[in-house]
Amino acid sequence: MPPSPASPSPANRGRARRRLVALAGAALALATATPATGSVAPPDDAAAATAVAPGSNVALASAGGVVTASGSEGGGTYGWTPDKAIDGITSGPVGQHTSRWSSDASDAAWLMVELAEPTVIDHVNIYWETACAARYVLQVSHDGTSWTDATPTVSPACGALDRQTVGAQADPAAAYRFVRMQTIERTPVGNQKYGVSLWELEVWDGTEPTPRREPALVPRPALVEQGDTASAFRITPETAVVAHGAGRGTADLVAELLRPATGYALPVVDGGDDRGAIAVTVDPEAGYTVEGGPAADESYVLDVDEGGVRIVATTSHGAFNAVQTLRQLLPAWVESDVPVAADWAVPAIHVEDAPRFAYRGVMLDPARSFQTVEAIKRQIDVLSQLKLSVLHLHLADDQGWRIEITNEGRVEGDTIDYTRLVDVSGRTAMDSRGYRDEVGRTGYYTQDEYRDIVAYAAERFVTVVPEVDVPGHTNAALHAIPELNTSRSLPAPDPATGVVPWNGTGNVGYSALDERNEASYTFVRHVFRQLAEMTGGPYVHMGGDETHAMGHDRFVDFVTRAVPDIQEVTGRGVIGWNEYAAAGAGQPDDFWEGSIAQYWVGSADPLRDFVAKGGKAIVSNATGAYLDQKYTSDTPIGLSWACGGTCDADRYYDWEPTTTVPGGIDEESVLGVEAPLWSETVRGGDQLEFLLLPRAASVLETGWTAREDKDVASFMQRLGDLGPRLTVQGHGFYESPRTTWAATSVSADVDARSGATAAWPVGYVAAPGTKLAADGARIAPDVTAADGDPATRSVLTEPLTAELVCPARTLPVTFTTDAPRDALHPAGVYTATVAAAFDVDAECELVTSRGDGGRVRVDVDPGHPLPPGPTAEPGDPTVSLGSGASVEAGAWESLALTGFAPGHVELLVDGAVKFTVRALADGTFTGHVPVPAATFAGDRVFTARQGEREVSTTRVVDSDQRPLANPIDRSTLRVHDVSSEETAAEQAPATNAIDGDPDTFWHTRWSGAAQPYPHHVTLDLGAAYDVTGLQYTTRQDAANGRMAAYEVYVSADGVEWGDPVASGSFTATLAPQTVDLTGTGRYLRLVGLSSVSGNAFGGAAEIAVGGVPVRDVPVTATAVSRCLAGTAYVAVRADNDGDAPVDMTIETAHGTREVAAVAPGRAASGSFSTRSSSVVAGEAAVVVAGTRVVVPYGALSC
């Protein structure tokens, strides 16, 4: 056995306290130049000997400070009282009643601190909350009565530290006893002004002590003791990895991790001397504690000093966790897959660590838009470094089915063909458009591929939890399996096919299995049995959420039968979203034994009943854990229903699992936390990572680190230092502007072909939040959002340049990157190159403008290869759509593309862009895409286009769709009247139905009191037409507002309507539906009699009308306003320009006159008194043979 790890002092070991101390006891220096390496800055011993004693915060209540204020929000009932401003707590959970002061609702609010004694003030810190002062002035006083401005008017940044020094009209050298923040104006939040709010006001009597920079360890360990930097351990070519006990597997992992970047052999040996080695001990009897507590399955102890690295754990999982901590202590370049010339120093440190919760999960959703096996493995790689313990895979939803289920093991009488699940619904996905109109991705995991994912995760101590959502979110299953479709399943099946149509929208709550259909339970048992057999692990997830259309009683009936069925056939615990907990009401006290409820929204009362009956809770509160939400309103992808405003890593960090549930829940009832990432807007692994990181790290630290040890400021600092590591690994992430991203560079040796001029790589730079200059000479911080990507912050405040200094010459460095920063991708690794020829070996130095860099050895040989050149242009593009003689409108057909550049490719039908797909790095795309349901039958031209690169194919389309005959110019249509429209809660007026945009819609009123059917809209066609048809397109994004039964009327005058000219029922299809009809007139009325959803709402996305203009009426009409004896009149004249007599009716708002048999060349006229001295502008009409000729007249005052 190896020596026991250094046993830390028993003092301060309770889990209630965490220590981050320097064992050397020297003054501590802030690491600003090298945070990305994970190393700890050395203590400056010389500075420590001569440094002036640091100051202190004399405003603290504990230092004798006394605080008063103009008032508090809510009269203090919210707890946001002045005493919170001097309690030493400078931040707190977003939106909770925590340690901050919020003023009364006044622009003149103030906060005053009386110090224990008059003090010469070095500086004042104000930690502002979101509702900071828009403008304020800092004042000082000797007596608390007479005040002097110590600053000019200040406009601080909300949610940030604001530091001010005494000046303006005050004497910086004078001693003051009173300090006051005097507000001038408040900052509106959401267009409303609340009280001025701040976390803390500090008054310092000297320079603040500079804390030693905390190691970039995420999640934060239970106990960290930093040692003297002189005691760091350096990995060298002679270093070995020593395995003790059952540590061989972990020892191999360490060596595999370190070999590519170091280029060292790092042999692994079983047992032996630990001196100068990395030693790994896995022993169930290992003697160690974590802050005085017993060792647990995932716990470990890590010790580093100049003599080596020692990892001790009772399990391989604990040792694996220790390795993740070790890799974060090493320079970020340890993640490089090519050798680099870094200083492989591990700082002296003692770490004791164990998790708060065993369940620390992330959910990925390949159901809505597929993620490849490779993409899933990439996420397992990065998340396991952050001590993920559970990967929850959402494998089926309304939009698609992603896991192969075979017919093997079907019970007697089961006729379901389970292979249809992937054969049919494995080729469907989100149809709603993603970034740049990219359509959802299709595909599925074979059972072998799924088992490979499970095994890959298990190697990294991650448990996979599979979810198939039932009874709701089941449209993909209903679309594939006829036996699941009944008169009670939802939505109703298509009579022509016996199954529901596929649905690629993001709608929820509309689909459900029939709880009375025995096939529903046969299906559930078969599917979950195979899932459990493929997965292993302790849990399966049945969903159980958002069954709105099904109703509560039917839902309860399903769950109370399905849960025992699933438990019986799988032998696993069942997880469901928190809605399913309500099904346990009235059940026995042990009904939920072994089951888990995943809380995401709503009342927690059923959850408390759930845990009282033997269940446990996973907390995934949507406002602080749903990773599919936008970071800000400008984020190109993501949703915003759960989190508004700024939804960055700090907000996702600052919540507490036991209290975020309404009414709270005991810690013993919480199994852990999970961060779900739904894929409505996600297309591909890169976009997945953009939303996943860094907020998944926030949630995983919440699951790992003790509540009392969490600190948002510390976390954001460590996150910024973690950025270069993610960059070197090639992972995408959101470069948050709420942290400062570290930067790091490294040199690399060159094997140059003698005499050959080429761009030789001499080093690399990882600098999140930066961009490359067009000429490649500079790497600059990106602080503007006007260039198409979010503004952020880098430790680089000036552009970075570099040069290669060799014995005989100095060469300029040009930087290149294969992954430039854009709206959805961070800055990738920059390669430093020199364009030169080398004739002899040389010892050079890469020198950057920051003063760092490293040695570059140039080895010259005529046999060395040249570096890779530019990527060759792709060949001629090709396109293949569908595999049969024809393709079907509204169906997903196979698509294969070659010969494109990586990136988005537009898909067009008959010249109109419909959506995009993305070509891979090799310029290809293979998958399924939807042929738009509105595509007309016959030969259609399908085109793939990327800039000037374009290729087309003509395919026969099978379609029930036909174009609307004789379409009337949409610009001439007007809404004449409407029975109901919603313009209060949303802008859904009837005019949206004729604007040519199917993404806008008319919706009947739903705010307040909704009006019942029938609903109608009347269109003025602008002239008389022989109307031949109507085309109705329903709302595209949700079921509400879709009309079913209808009637159509045509009228000459918009008053008399007669009998309907057409009637029938629209279906739920999103494609335009054409109605043939015959009628003559200027006005058309569509009357809805019922809705597809069975509710009171009606509407339309688009209404188009077809017709042939009626022969022109041979009438010329004029109307004028006149004064006669102080009275305003409207005079109308109508000339018969034809060759036969006509009957005319002259209509105005002030009277009507009928004139019979007006001869050719003659006129009818009428003068109509308004009985007033003025008239407003209006219209008069002349009606001939049912056709109205409308003419305007002006306003007049007599």
Query: What DSSP string describes 1026-1041?
Result: EEEEEEEE--SS-STT
Cα–Cα distance, 142 to 180 (Å, whole number): 12
> What are the two backbone dihedrals, phi and then psi, of residue 793, each rounded to the nearest 5 degrees?
-130, 135
* Same domain as 186, residue 75: yes
Q: Is residue 404 part of a domain?
A: yes
Backbone phi, then psi, for 133, in 5-degree steps? Answer: -70, 135
Which residues are known catalytic residues?
Answer: 546
Q: Is 1195 left (phi over 0), alpha (psi -120 to 50) or beta?
A: beta
Q: List CB contacts of 209: < 8 A, sequence separation 6 or more.
A: 54, 55
Q: Are residues 582 and 521 in the same domain?
A: yes
One-letter amino acid for residue 884 of the chain: G
Of the listed ranges 502-506, 677-681, 976-980, 1109-1113, the one predicted with least confidence:
1109-1113
Domain residues for the domain of 1070 are: 970-1109
Are 516 and 479 within 8 A, CB to CB? Answer: no
Residue 736 forms part of a structural domain: no
Which of 173, 204, 235 marks a domain boundary? 204
Q: Calculate the dihedral angle through the C-alpha atoms of 850, 854, 860, 863, rounding to the nearest 10 degrees.
A: -100
Average pLDDT for 699-703:
98
| Residues 993, 1129 share a domain | no
At a CB cut-off of 8 Å and minimum separation 6, what does 567 contact? 573, 574, 594, 595
Note whether residue 55 is domain-resident.
no
CA 420 to chain centre: 32
| Residue 16 confidence class, pLDDT cut points 50, 70, 90 | very low
Helix H or strand E segment including 1156: strand 1151-1158
Per-residue buried b or exposed e for 319-344, using 16+ beta carbons within 10 Å of the residue's own CB: bbbbbbbbbbbbbbbbbbeeebbbeb
Whether the pLDDT of residue 482 is over 60: the answer is: yes
Q: How far apart are alpha carbons 724 and 829 in whole angstroms? A: 9
Please give the pLDDT value at position 213.
86
Q: What is the pTM of this model?
A: 0.81
949 Rama class: left (phi>0) / alpha (psi -120 to 50) / beta: beta
Co-location of 856 and 788 in the same domain: yes
Rounded CA-CA distance 246/277 in Å is: 17
pLDDT at 52: 58
Domain at 500, CATH number: 3.20.20.80
Query: What confidence score (pLDDT) does residue 577 get?
Result: 98
Residue 30 — very low, low, confident or very high, per pLDDT cuts 50/70/90? very low
Same domain, yes or no: 436 and 501 = yes
Question: CA 1062 → CA 130, 934, 1186, distances in Å?
Answer: 59, 22, 20
Choice between 21 and 1068, residue whose per-residue pLDDT is larger: 1068
Whether 317 contacts 206, CB under 8 Å: no
Helix, strand, coil percentages, rounded to 5, for the chain: 20, 35, 50
Beta bridge partners of residue 178, listed in sequence order: 114, 141
Q: Is 360 helix (H, G, I), strand (E, B) or coil?
A: strand
- 459 plus 573 within the same structural domain: yes
**Mean pLDDT confidence for 1116-1139:** 94
Average pLDDT over every residue of 876-896: 97
Q: Which pLDDT score, from 0 to 100, does residue 34 have?
A: 36
Residue 50 has pLDDT above 70, yes or no: no
Provide the pLDDT for residue 33: 34
In a domain, 35, yes or no: no
Considering 326, 353, 380, which residue would you say is the last residue of a domain? 353
Structure tokens at 948: 């000037």
What whole-number distance in Å separates Cα of residue 793 and Cα of residue 944? 39
The Cα 601–Cα 598 span in angstroms is 9
Pair (636, 559) in one structural domain: yes
Question: Are the C-beta atoms of residues 905 and 925 closer than 8 Å to each other?
Answer: yes
pLDDT score recorded for residue 1121? 95
Q: State the pLDDT confidence band at 962, using cuts at 50, 70 and 90.
A: confident
How is residue 259 written in tokens? Answer: 């070999």
pLDDT in tens, 765-813: 999 999 999 999 999 999 888 788 888 999 999 999 999 999 999 999 9
Comparing CA positions, the residue from 722, 740, 746, 727 lying closest to residue 796 is 740
Please classify residue 107 by burial: count the beta carbons closer than 10 Å to its beta carbon, then call 0-12 exposed, 13-18 middle and 19+ buried. middle
- pLDDT on residue 284: 95
Domain-located, residue 917: yes
Structural domain includes residue 737:
no
- pLDDT at site 178: 98
4: pLDDT strictly greater than 70: no
Same domain flag for 1100 and 1173: no
Instruction: Give the confidence band of 95 by pLDDT, cuts at 50, 70, 90.
Output: very low
CB 1102, CB 1079: distance < 8 Å: no
Instruction: Round to whole Å and give the CA distance between 100 and 749.
Output: 54
Q: Tell me the CATH number at 1145.
A: 2.60.40.10
The span from the CA of 608 to the CA of 604, in Å, is: 6
Task: Label residue 306 exposed, middle or buried (CB < 10 Å: 0-12, 13-18, 19+).
Answer: middle
pLDDT in the model for residue 809? 97
Highest mean pLDDT, choosing among 7-21, 135-149, 642-656: 135-149
Average confidence score pLDDT of the chain: 92
The three-state secondary structure class of 813 is: coil
In this prediction, residues 249-263 reach a mean pLDDT of 98
Phi, psi of 403 (to 5 degrees): -130, 130
Q: Are residues 492 and 574 in the same domain?
A: yes
Task: Judge whether residue 216 has pLDDT over 80.
Answer: yes
Report CA-CA distances (Å) from 660 to 218, 609, 630, 707, 713.
Answer: 22, 17, 21, 13, 20
Please provide the DSSP assignment of 115-145 as one string: EEEEEE--EEEEEE-SS-EEEEEEEEESSSS
The answer to whether residue 23 scores a pLDDT higher than 60 is no
Determine the average pLDDT of the residues in 284-310.
93
Q: Which of the listed residues 663, 695, 710 is the one where a domain comes to its end?
A: 710
Measure the N-to-C terminal CA separation of the chain; round to a whole number of Å.
112
Pair (1093, 1191) in one structural domain: no
Cα gap 649→631, rounded to integer Å: 9
User: In the chain, how many domains are there?
Assistant: 7
- Which CATH number fits the domain that encloses residue 1060? 2.60.120.260
Roughly what angle, to the nearest 10 degrees, separates helices 695-704 and 712-729?
A: 120
pLDDT given at position 78: 84
SS3 category, 675: strand
Distance CA 528, CA 396 (A): 12
Quickly tell me which residue has 């900071």 as its tokens.
132
240 and 363 together in one domain: no
Q: Is the pLDDT of residue 17 over 50?
A: no
Confidence of residue 49 (pLDDT cuts 50, 70, 90): very low
CB 399 within 8 A of CB 476: yes
332 compared with 78, residue with greater pLDDT = 332
Distance CA 24, CA 228 (A): 5
Q: Look at the alpha carbons of 766, 772, 775, 778 in this order and tell me if their dihedral is positive or negative.
A: negative
pLDDT, tens only, 525-542: 999 999 999 999 999 999
Q: What is the pLDDT of residues 835-867, one digit of tens each?
A: 999 999 999 999 999 988 899 999 999 999 999
Residue 602 lies in a domain: yes
CB atoms within 10 A of CB 227: 20
The answer on 295 and 399 residing in a single domain is no
Q: How confident is the model at residue 47 (pLDDT cuts 50, 70, 90)?
A: very low
The rounded radius of gyration (Å) of the Cα atoms in the chain is 36
Residue 44 lies in a domain: no
Task: State which of 430-434, 488-492, 870-874 shows the largest mean pLDDT.
Answer: 488-492
Closest by CA position to 318, among listed 347, 289, 277: 289
